[in-house]
Amino acid sequence: MDYRKEFIVAPGQKLRLADVDPAYKGPHESHETAAPELERYSQKLGQMQTLLYAGRKHSILVVLQALDAGGKDGTVNHVFAAFNAQGASVTGFKEPTPLELSHDFLWRVHPHAPPKGWISIFNRSHYEDVLITRVHRLIDKATWTERYNRIRDFETELHESGTTILKFFLHISKEEQLARFEKRLDDPARNWKISESDYSERELWGDYVLAFEDALTATSTHHAPWYVIPSNHKWFRNLAVSQIVADTMEDLKMSFPKPTVDLADIRRKYHAAVLEEKKAGKG
Amino acid sequence: MDYRKEFIVAPGQKLRLADVDPAYKGPHESHETAAPELERYSQKLGQMQTLLYAGRKHSILVVLQALDAGGKDGTVNHVFAAFNAQGASVTGFKEPTPLELSHDFLWRVHPHAPPKGWISIFNRSHYEDVLITRVHRLIDKATWTERYNRIRDFETELHESGTTILKFFLHISKEEQLARFEKRLDDPARNWKISESDYSERELWGDYVLAFEDALTATSTHHAPWYVIPSNHKWFRNLAVSQIVADTMEDLKMSFPKPTVDLADIRRKYHAAVLEEKKAGKG
């Protein structure tokens, strides 16, 4: 099954989140039946990163957005585990600092774009500036509409310089969110994370859905598509994201650069002589 | 066995690398017999990082230095695999750019120091500025001696602000290096990395040993110790580094912060009501 086709927000087409079942599992029964496929895509991600790093021609930007407890952290951990940390980075975008707020909204984001050969994962991103700010009425419609233009232009700039952009909205149901909050209450190692605002934000659920639908519709483009990933089942979410990233990287048709030295010459000059010497020294 | 005691460069004591057997394996026969211990320390590293991240009181800086093929990349991958990428970062320091060279040698390093709650791993570091530069006679004795002072002061500054510093020299034999170079020659996926300078640097082996001995002796302090890790056996190197980092973090005696909300109150206000509602809706 090609989850790229299944979950893409088709450019130019209006997204309705109600049309996507957050509990969807594809052809799989459970984590167990999906495990071999998960493993295969993890390995493929690792192989693709090795080629990406060696070639230094392309870079990958993965953007993750979701409502609270939607699984951004879990997705980062799963996908990142397949990568070599030297060549991949995660940036979390939290509430902007006063300095960041005194700049245009892309100022704090741009420095974290991936250089050639690298993968950057954004845990939250410049999209917060058309989502949370809109829901909390910190900006008006003219501003968020203009920001859609700025975002499209920014992503075009990255694309033009060799960055492949993949954006994921991790879609969970409101019931699933509450169930996840409950697990936090039951886990002493996570109690410290709980805040009352987790719950007050739930009351804005409908506003967030509208803001996401609008933003994703406006910014899903051929070179920087959005995917809406059914995420009630964490293993299915991991599988779908891994497959989409791995298959997109495979389409870049990367190969290892040619050696810059004559390998036979290196063997003759250094390995033969030193092995002789070692033998003589030991014999 | 406490590898901290065994491999520390005791502050104030002259290091002689010839005294450390790079093929040392401790009480272990092989990777297989060491595997349970390796797994245990990986898990401990993960637990310690969770506490570090939650508490936001301490930070950890791990510095890795070695000769070519000494295993810096492999160590990063092994140790990093135990961590959550959101709270850990790796910085590789390559040949400085013209901009970096136009600043003092710590200028490019300081921004990558770990903030509270985080772990930073340096793959190469500010120590290159007293090693490769010295061996290639880019600086004179007065300069590297003065740089030792600058490095000690810099590390004191980090320590004073809550950073625990651990520095590792991965010690391999000259024969092991050649064997590793040979593996690169035999592996088509790594051929592109080979350069003639890998071999010409080998001729400076003795100079590097002297430079490392001098630098490590001058900069191993109580709050920022150097450890010389026998690294011919990769699994032993991973075990020793993991144990030293994990045990050092354990000594910080961290605990989870108290919740900022009244958990019983949260349960009553949000979970009870919504569960009722759900039942009513479904019933």
Q: Which CATH architecture best describes the domain B3-282?
A: 3-Layer(aba) Sandwich (3.40)
pLDDT of residue B282: 54
Amino acid at B132: I
CA dihedral sign of residues B200, A51, A60, B238: negative
Amino acid at B261: V
* Buried b or exposed e, range A102-122, using 16+ CB within 10 angstroms: eeebbebbeeebbeebbbbbb
pLDDT of residue B274: 67
The whole-angstrom distance between B14's CA and the closest CA on chain A is 30
- How large is the angle between the packed helices B141-160 and B205-219, nearest 10 degrees? 40
Set of chain B residues whose Cβ sits within 8 Å of the Cβ of A182 = 271
- Which of B62, B79, B196 is the best mutation test for A, with the most CBs of A within 10 A? B196
Mean pLDDT of B251-259: 97
Q: Provide the CB-side half-sphere exposure for B219 (13 A, CA).
A: 31
Q: Which token pair is A32? A: 């167990």
Q: Which residues of chain A have pLDDT under 70?
A: 273-279, 281-283
Set of chain B residues whose Cβ sits within 8 Å of the Cβ of A54 = 189, 192
Set of chain B residues whose Cβ sits within 8 Å of the Cβ of A259 = 191-192, 194
What integer best gives the mean pLDDT of chain B?
95
> Is B15 in CB contact (< 8 Å) with chain A?
no
Give the chain A residue nearest B202 (alpha carbons). A270
Mean pLDDT of B175-193: 95
> Is A203 in CB contact (< 8 Å) with chain B?
no
The answer to whether B92 and B124 are in contact (CB under 8 A) is yes
CA dihedral sign of residues B73, B75, B78, B81: negative
Residue A125: count other Cβ atoms within 10 Å of its Cβ: 21
pLDDT in tens, B266-280: 999 999 866 666 667
Judged by average pLDDT, the poorest of A132-136, A275-279, B154-158, B185-189 is A275-279
Residue B122 has pLDDT above 80, yes or no: yes
Number of alpha helices (DSSP H) and beta strands (DSSP E) in chain A: 12, 5
Q: Is A136 helix (H, G, I), strand (E, B) or coil?
A: coil
**For residue B90, what are the β-bridge partners?**
B121
Residue B281 has pLDDT above 80, yes or no: no
- Which of A190, A270, A279 is the best mutation test for B, with the most CBs of B within 10 A? A270
Element (H, E) at B92: strand B88-92
CA dihedral sign of residues A43, B43, A65, A120: negative
Set of chain B residues whose Cβ sits within 8 Å of the Cβ of A266 = 185, 194, 196, 199
**For residue A123, what are the β-bridge partners?**
A64, A92
Give phi and psi for A281, each to the nearest 5. -65, -35
Q: How far apart are CA A101 and CA B209, in angstroms?
A: 50
3-state helix, strand, coil in chain B (%, to 5): 55, 10, 35
The answer to whether A84 and A53 are in contact (CB under 8 A) is yes
**For residue B154, what are the β-bridge partners?**
none
The answer to whether B275 and A205 are in contact (CB under 8 A) is no
Does A263 sit within 8 Å of B188, measured CB to CB? Answer: no
Which candidate from A202, A259, A278 shows the least CB-CB separation from B191? A259
CA dihedral sign of residues A20, A25, A31, A35: negative
Q: Supply angle C-alpha B212, B217, B219, rounded to 5.
A: 95
Does B90 sit within 8 Å of A76, measured CB to CB? Answer: no
The answer to whether A50 and A252 are in contact (CB under 8 A) is no
Query: B112 pLDDT band (50/70/90 cuts)?
Result: very high
List C-alpha distances in Å: A223 to A52, A62, A170.
18, 13, 20
Q: How far apart are CA B146 and CA B209, in angstroms?
A: 20
Q: Which token pair is B236? A: 């032993």
Residue B18 has pLDDT above 90, yes or no: yes
Element (H, E) at A204: none
Task: Specify burial of residue B141 (Cβ count, 10 A radius: 0-12, 13-18, 19+).
Answer: exposed
> Is A173 in CB contact (< 8 Å) with chain B?
no
Element (H, E) at B125: none
Mean pLDDT of B11-29: 96
3-state helix, strand, coil in chain A (%, to 5): 55, 10, 35
The answer to whether B266 and A194 are in contact (CB under 8 A) is yes
pLDDT of residue B283: 43
CA dihedral sign of residues A112, A117, A122, A126: positive
> Is A270 in CB contact (< 8 Å) with chain B?
yes
* Buried b or exposed e, range B191-211, using 16+ CB within 10 angstroms: bbebeeebbebbeeeeebbeb
Mean pLDDT of B80-109: 95
Q: Is A131 helix (H, G, I), strand (E, B) or coil?
A: coil
- Residue A104 CA to chain centroid, in angstroms? 23
The answer to whether B151 and B144 are in contact (CB under 8 A) is no
Query: B132 pLDDT band (50/70/90 cuts)?
Result: very high
Which candidate from A86, A196, A266 shows the least CB-CB separation from B90? A86
